[in-house]
């Protein structure tokens, strides 16, 4: 492989743009082939495809590929290719978070559902946040950058562990026909609130980090709040005719496609300029989209395949290039990783399980939801990549949290099936009230 890449480089014309293309395209081919193979292998062992793609990104990094074939990896991912991968992954994340925001359905189902979902969300966020922050304080001297204050570091660890992989949870429930059952609706709404709170926390932490403390962060926080209000109160009403048109015609035409591409990219540019990263802009752009089910269905059908198949594997690989699992070898590092993993798992799993039980669900249903809510998938990878890019965390902590993402995501389905076998799902499925066909997220979603 090294010889092939070098030969292509020598054969490249004097045009530097074409020379760069001849470097980027082989990298993309290898990324997509590896992601496809690992994703298929994950499906063969009854895991979501995204888990295999996450693992593929790690395998292409220094942990395996760079260790076995360092010259080939250096030739495939040279320094001038990595910025291109970063740009592609940023566009992919912005559009992906846009689709996540656009796919949320907060319409009321049953009386008191919003209150119950808030209880479930709080039970998933608070224990994970507190336990994660406690672990962060304990491990501050070992894992933190010296310029990051202890409380900011602790809150970052807690925030990362409080996330739930909302799109993966949605896909699992849709596949099993549970999306309109009380269990399914509460889980989806609770997970969406979980993630929204975590993104808000990250926005504040990023603003504090870039703004030299709380006082210096106030302008960034204020601008972020103004941006969110404008998106939800000004932009959203302007987009309603687009939703009505799609509902009437059943299609999203060329003009509509320009709108749904330009809005999240422009929003991402604005939030990047504000200082809170483009994924926040993409997410709020999604929240501003029309809320009718027909529009969401068409939007996901047009965009999710391209985003999840082409752009997200690039992000996983870019994350993998920063993941050095060898850096967490040694007794103290292994113990630190186990403490972070235990804090994240216990806070989310037992917190959500006990909350579901308190809301009147059976123990089996409660533990099933606890297992699903404990999966972190792609969401935590986005979270920690922002932290690494903003120099809020070290590469050692980054690698540990990547491993937490893989393990908790891999454990979601086994824990769910252990608690709620298929024969017991039938009674749960029958309790849901009939509803329109929901938006189906791509099986690649996490």
CB 19 within 8 A of CB 12: yes
Could you give the percent of the chain with pLDDT greater than 90? 28
Q: Using alpha carbons, select from 124, 117, 239 the residue that is nearest to residue 188.
A: 117
The pLDDT assigned to 260 comes to 93
DSSP-assigned states of every residue in 173-214:
HHHTT-TTSHHHHHHHHHHHHHHHHHHHHHHHHHHHHHTTHH
The predicted structure's pLDDT at residue 300: 85
Residue 83: other Cβ atoms inside 10 A: 10
- Please indicate, yes or no, whether the overall pTM of this predicted structure exceeds 0.85: no
Confidence of residue 265 (pLDDT cuts 50, 70, 90): very high
How confident is the model over 325-331, as a mean pLDDT? Answer: 73
Taking phi over 0 as left and psi of -120 to 50 as alpha, with beta for the rest, 12 belongs to beta
- Could you give the CA distance from residue 237 to residue 216 in angstroms, rounded to a whole number? 33
Q: 369, 374, 371: which is closest to 356 by C-alpha?
A: 369
Which among 389, 397, 349, 347 is positioned nearest to 370, based on CA atoms? 349
pLDDT tens digits for range 20-44:
888 899 999 999 999 999 999 988 9
Give the CA distances from residue 146 to residues 118, 247, 323, 332, 390, in Å, rounded to whole numbers and listed in that order. Answer: 36, 54, 21, 18, 14
Task: Give the residue-averaged pLDDT of 185-191.
Answer: 80
Give whole-number Cα distances, 91 to 21, 199, 207, 306, in Å.
Answer: 18, 18, 21, 12
Of 130, 56, 157, 54, residue with least CA distance to 397:
157
More confident of the two residues 226 and 274:
226
Structure tokens at 334: 């292994």
Dump pLDDT digits (tens) for 362-397: 899 899 889 888 888 778 888 888 888 888 899 889
Give exposure, 91-122, as e/b (b: 16+ Cβ within 10 Å).
bbbbbbbbbbbbbbbeeebeeebeebbebbbb
Least confident of 159-163, 190-194, 416-420: 190-194
Residue 444: its pLDDT value, please?
46
Average pLDDT value for residue range 321-327:
77
Structure tokens at 41: 């292998």
pLDDT exceeds cutoff 60 at 2? no
Q: Is the pLDDT of residue 108 over 60?
A: no
Count, residues in the chain: 446
Question: Which DSSP string corresponds to 231-249?
Answer: IIIIIHHHHHHHHHHHHHH
Q: What is the spatial distance between Cα 328 and Cα 353, in angstroms, rounded to a whole number?
A: 31
Residue with the larger pLDDT of the pair 190 and 138:
138
Can you give the pLDDT at residue 109? 55
């Amino acid at each position: 492989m090294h010889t092939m890449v070098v030969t292509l480089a020598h054969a490249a014309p004097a045009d530097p743009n074409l020379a760069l293309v001849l470097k980027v395209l082989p990298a993309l081919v290898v990324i997509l082939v590896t992601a496809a193979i690992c994703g298929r292998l994950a499906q063969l062992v009854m895991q979501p495809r995204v888990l295999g793609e996450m693992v593929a990104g790690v395998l292409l990094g220094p942990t395996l590929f760079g260790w076995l074939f360092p010259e080939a990896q250096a030739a495939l991912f040279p320094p001038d290719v990595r910025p291109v991968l970063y740009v592609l992954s940023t566009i992919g994340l912005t559009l992906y978070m846009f689709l996540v925001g656009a796919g949320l359905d907060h319409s009321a189902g049953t009386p008191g559902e919003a209150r119950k979902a808030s209880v479930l969300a709080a039970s998933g966020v608070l224990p994970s946040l507190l336990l994660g922050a406690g672990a962060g304080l304990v491990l501050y001297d070992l894992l933190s950058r010296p310029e990051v204050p202890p409380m900011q570091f602790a809150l970052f660890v807690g925030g990362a562990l409080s996330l739930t992989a909302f799109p993966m949870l949605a896909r699992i429930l849709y596949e099993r026909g549970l999306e309109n059952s009380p269990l399914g609706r509460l889980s989806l709404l609770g997970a969406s609130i979980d993630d929204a709170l975590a993104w808000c926390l990250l926005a504040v932490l990023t603003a504090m980090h870039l703004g030299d403390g709380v006082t210096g962060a106030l302008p960034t926080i204020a601008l972020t709040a103004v941006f969110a209000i404008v998106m939800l109160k000004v932009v959203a009403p302007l987009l309603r005719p687009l939703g009505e048109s799609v509902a009437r015609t059943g299609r999203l035409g060329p003009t509509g496609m320009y709108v749904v591409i330009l809005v999240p990219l422009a929003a991402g540019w604005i939030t990047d300029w504000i200082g809170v990263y483009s994924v926040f802009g993409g997410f709020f752009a999604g929240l501003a989209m029309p809320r009718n089910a027909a529009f969401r269905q068409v939007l996901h059908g047009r965009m999710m395949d391209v985003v999840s198949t082409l752009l997200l594997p690039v992000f996983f690989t870019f994350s993998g290039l920063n993941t050095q699992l060898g850096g967490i070898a040694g007794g103290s590092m292994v113990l630190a990783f186990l403490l972070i993993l235990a804090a994240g798992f216990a806070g989310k799993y037992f917190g959500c399980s006990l909350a579901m039980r308190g809301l009147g669900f059976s123990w089996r249903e409660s533990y099933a939801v606890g297992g699903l809510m404990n999966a972190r998938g792609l969401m935590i990878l986005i979270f920690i990549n922002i932290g690494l890019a903003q120099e809020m965390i070290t590469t050692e902590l980054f690698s540990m949290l990547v491993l937490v993402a893989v393990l908790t995501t891999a454990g979601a389905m086994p824990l769910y099936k252990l608690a709620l076998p298929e024969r017991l799902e039938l009674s749960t499925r029958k309790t849901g009230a009939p509803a329109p066909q929901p938006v189906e997220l791509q099986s690649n979603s996490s």
